[in-house]
Structure 1
């Protein structure tokens, strides 16, 4: 077992939940994932994290969404989640004004349609790719979009958990 996983397994419950909250801001998810410790390996942790997200009630998913900045907005602060968010959205924030303006418009249209912010796994994706995905997802019905959001949140959470254990 590697040192970071050993560190994570040994944390007091409240500290483990705090560390997990940087990966996904649902307190019930963080509590559940922390409760399954100790993990034998990183894959067991990632599997549990994904399974817990799959079963998370929508209000808890919405709570996790509320902690994310809109696509194209720079996360403030020095907390781990803000630092990761800035890294994940680096290509979007550095895009030209026309694309940033279009992203602002599609963000508002999306929020009006679905009642929550647009969430996408932005890491490594161009602004144009994200803009096209947002426009496409505006055509989803609410049930379909909730499943897409849950899948995107899971991808983000797995990336952040991996960073938690490797950085």
Structure 2
């Protein structure tokens, strides 16, 4: 889907919120960004998104809701089954995991489970442009952190992903 800002600005609140949920599954973020329409530029929308995200990430339940909208890195079955509303925007984001060697994928799966067990939420990383090995290296580097540090890391990575998805959503159709 590709929209113009004018089309988005004309949506009713429910349509705008639903559209934004394809970029980030925090209902608070989506509602608050949708409520701030109209936006005259993508830059203004992105800036407002950042401001709202700064508030949302302060509330752990809102942050965890956003993180729940992601499959585990490399888990394509989860992507297709659980996250249908973000499937189109997320599928290529993990393309580096699609070409990985089996042992790297197995290590990612094991590391993801250890991360989930330790922190109570999935490992999230801005995966675009990263190989499976790079994602594994980042996961292993972050695994020793404490939960508070990882909540901050996850919030930062989520915002990068949200910005990418907003840019793709409003990219002019060619």
The normalised TM-score by structure 2 is 0.90
3-state secondary structure, aligned to 1:55 = helix
Structure 2 Cα separation of the partners of residues 129 and 51 of structure 1: 30
Greater RCO, CA 8 A, separation 6+: 2
3-state secondary structure, aligned to 1:40 = coil
Structure 1 Cα separation of the partners of residues 47 and 85 of structure 2: 22
Aligned-CA RMSD value: 1.4
1:19-34 to 2 correspondence within 5 Å? 19-34=19-34
Partner of 2:117: 112
Kept in 2: contact 1:73–1:93 (CA 8 A): no
Partner of 1:64: 66
Q: How many residues align?
A: 165
Q: Which runs of 4+ in 1 moved over 4 A?
A: 77-80
Q: Which runs of 5+ in 2 are unaligned?
A: none
The normalised TM-score by structure 1 is 0.94
1:89 aligns with 2:94: yes
Instruction: Give the CA deviation at 1:93.
Output: 2.3
Structure 2 Cα separation of the partners of residues 50 and 149 of structure 1: 15
1:43 aligns with 2:48: no
Structure 2 Cα separation of the partners of residues 65 and 145 of structure 1: 12
Q: Which runs of 5+ in 1 are unaligned?
A: none
Structure 2 Cα separation of the partners of residues 117 and 151 of structure 1: 14
Partner of 1:76: 80
